[in-house]
Structure 1
Amino acid sequence: MSALAGGQAVEVVALSRTFDLCRIFESNADVALRVVRPDEVVDPARVEIALAWMPEERAFDAYPNLKMVSSIAAGVDSILACPSLPKDVVVTRVRDHAQADLMAGFAAWQVVWHHRRMGDYITNQARRSWDRSFRPQAPGSVTVGVLGYGLMGRRCAMAIAAMGFRVLVARSSVPTTPEAPLDGIEIIAGPGAILSVAAEADILVNVLPLTDTTRDLLDGNFFAQMKPGAALVQMGRGEHMVEADLIEALDGGQLAGASVDVFRQEPPAEDHPFWSHPRIMVTPHKASDTTPAEILRQVTENFSALREGRLPPGLVNREAGY
């Protein structure tokens, strides 16, 4: 990594209104990237790399020679929406296969949770009730829909299919080149794919990126088009869902249950209705995670590629939003 600056650490400015990114990366002092706060920057004109997550509106104004902005995660929506982001700056994101495996494991767990009605056993334990009356369907008789087919969605679909479930995947783009089929996975592509999958799925897993098209996608109208009695696993972004509409869909009987890992406001307020709803499982945005060392490794890899005239592996299509 010293090739970036002839053996000297490259100064990377950390820009976030919600996290102290420097504290996250302080244990990686041996890495040839020196992550600093804006007030620690020696010369703003020499800053070429920014690490960002939910930056302030004018966060990028001070750095006239910025070349690359890297998200600390897979999501880039808050960066792309920032009004001070220069049009000619490359934006990259984290693509961590180990993180995708964690996401897949979480998705598989939640699918089994809803398929086997595991929440009932928690309730029965509290009541000291030995109730063995529930008979689950064989996995092959259960359709699981996965919304999104990037790295995370693909790993989730593969993990769920490996347990014997029928898996339908919705992807917005039609592949331009033939792709090898994956056992147990059917892919539906195109503008109507999301609603087609939602209408057929017994359990629907959302791992879509957040874009102008997907913001507020999971609303009352969407829930009404889902299969009656279906369950939702929401592990995309909090802004995908209109939270009050989920309560109505559950209380009205359209949906049987939901697992929610991401919220519009995190953490949710103490009086948020999801905390106490009997058919909602709440987890604290921990479906997956990556490590600071892996983030910095990818920042180095992406910036090295950029300097050498190659496409960075984590390059974001700014028009598509991911």
Structure 2
Amino acid sequence: MTFLYKANATRGLEWARHFAARAPELPFRLWPDIGDPAEVRYLAVWSPPENIATTFRNLELVFSVGAGVDQFDFSQLPPHVPLIRMLEPGIAEGMVEYATMAVLALHRDLVHLIAQQRQQIWREIRITPAAKRRVGVMGLGLLGQAVLERLKLFGFPLAGWNRSPRTIEGVTCYAGRETLLDFLAQTDILLCLLPLTDETRGILNMSLFEALPHGAQLVNVGRGGHLVEADLIAALERGLLSSAVLDVAEQEPLPAGHPFWNHPRILLTPHIASMTTPETAVEFVLDTIGRHRRGEILPGRVDRDRGY
């Protein structure tokens, strides 16, 4: 009975140390040293290996080392094997920090000030009080709710939009496609934290940008597939949007020459908004394995029909 890790190799060494300390009875292997594939019962991955079902015939659980699972082809996973999203607290705290940083950067016009610095321009930009800057979050799962809770501290009027209804104190919540336009109309800074599914792919497009207040701002910390990149460039050029903070792209790493690299109204980071913390990730994984052995409900289990 073996646990196999296939993701960032450096963090994998940390996983190995924590496994050795907490579960020395469970053999731990780092990809590509898989040992006997028939012995692999548990698999933790970012980029799934090919032929999972035929290679690892005795799998019992598959873990995503991140909060998202859009990198998986569900048809390649044995239907009886649960797929588990990572729910360790380090992911949420990292996302809260990044989202807060991004919203404040847009709120205080940091993208524009950086552009002025590059042009050696010393010019004031009038401050807008937080109470007059409306922030809307798309995606009200655990990460979205954690981000909204932190943003409350700054006094922004807050709204949230989700596929299914949510009730969050201090947040005006919208649910379903029929409410999306109402949500967008009152959002000055839009933050995307949606899961990437067939339904949400390309949702950040020109029609959505046109529904926002003129000069609104965007933060995308979901997936690159949420954003129609050409539409963002066009929206910035038209003034529909005034600036954007992007942590994800359709192609990663972003290729040389891509217009995002040098755009004066885009702040770009290399998919680092949140990262799994090895120590707490191992705690979550071992707790989940224990629950599975006892036949209990598994937190983070993916509904394959919904895609998350």
Q: Same fold (TM over 0.5)?
A: yes
**C-alpha distance after superposition, 1:75-99 (max 9, x if no partner):** 01122x2432111110101113332
1:205 aligns with 191
Assess if the C-alpha contact under 8 Å between 2:91 and 2:275 holds in 1.
Answer: yes
CA RMSD after TM alignment: 2.0
Q: TM-score, normalised by structure 2?
A: 0.90
Q: TM-score, normalised by structure 1?
A: 0.87
Assess if the C-alpha contact under 8 Å between 1:57 and 1:83 holds in 2.
Answer: no
1:99 aligns with 91
> Partners of 2:143 and 2:163 in 1: how far apart?
15
> Partners of 2:208 and 2:232 in 1: how far apart?
10
Question: Given the alignment of the two structures, is residue 12 of structure 1 paired with residue 3 of structure 2, yes or no?
Answer: yes
C-alpha distance 193-94 of structure 1, shift in aligned 2 (>3 A): farther
Q: 1:223 aligns with which of 199, 209, 215?
A: 209
* C-alpha displacement of 1:125: 3.7
Map residues 164-313 of structure 1 onto 2, 5 A cutoff: 164-175=155-166, 179=167, 181-183=168-170, 185-313=171-299
Count, aligned residues = 302
2:128 aligns with 137
- Aligned to 1:29, the other structure's residue is in SS state helix
Assess if the C-alpha contact under 8 Å between 1:69 and 1:90 holds in 2.
Answer: yes
C-alpha distance 165-91 of structure 1, shift in aligned 2 (>3 A): same
> Partners of 2:178 and 2:213 in 1: how far apart?
16
> Partners of 2:46 and 2:153 in 1: how far apart?
34
> Partners of 1:34 and 1:192 in 2: how far apart?
50
- Aligned to 1:259, the other structure's residue is in SS state strand
Assess if the C-alpha contact under 8 Å between 1:258 and 1:280 holds in 2.
Answer: yes
5+ unaligned residues in a row in structure 2: which ranges?
Answer: none
**C-alpha distance after superposition, 1:204-254 (max 9, x if no partner):** 000111111111111222222222210000110111111111111111221
Q: Quick one: which amino acid aligns to residue 25 of structure 1?
A: G
Map residues 46-85 of structure 1 onto 2, 5 A cutoff: 46-79=39-72, 81-85=73-77
Q: Quick one: which amino acid aligns to residue 75 of structure 1?
A: G
Mean Cα deviation higher: 284-293 or 268-277: 284-293
> Partners of 1:315 and 1:82 in 2: how far apart?
13
Percentage of pairs with the same residue: 35
> Partners of 1:124 and 1:253 in 2: how far apart?
17
- Aligned to 1:83, the other structure's residue is in SS state helix
**C-alpha distance after superposition, 1:10-46 (max 9, x if no partner):** 512235xxx5x44431233331354435653333223
**Higher relative contact order (Cα pairs below 8 Å, separated by 6+ residues):** 2
C-alpha distance 125-253 of structure 1, shift in aligned 2 (>3 A): closer
Q: Quick one: which amino acid aligns to residue 96 of structure 1?
A: E
> Partners of 2:151 and 2:99 in 1: how far apart?
8
Assess if the C-alpha contact under 8 Å between 1:57 and 1:82 holds in 2.
Answer: no
> Partners of 1:51 and 1:62 in 2: how far apart?
15
Q: 2:81 aligns with which of 89, 95, 118?
A: 89
> Partners of 2:119 and 2:105 in 1: how far apart?
19
- Aligned to 1:263, the other structure's residue is in SS state coil
> Partners of 1:130 and 1:40 in 2: how far apart?
57
5+ unaligned residues in a row in structure 1: which ranges?
Answer: 1-9
1:5 aligns with none
Mean Cα deviation higher: 142-151 or 56-65: 56-65
Assess if the C-alpha contact under 8 Å between 2:88 and 2:276 holds in 1.
Answer: yes
Mean Cα deviation higher: 308-317 or 96-105: 96-105
Assess if the C-alpha contact under 8 Å between 2:67 and 2:91 holds in 1.
Answer: no
1:42 aligns with 35
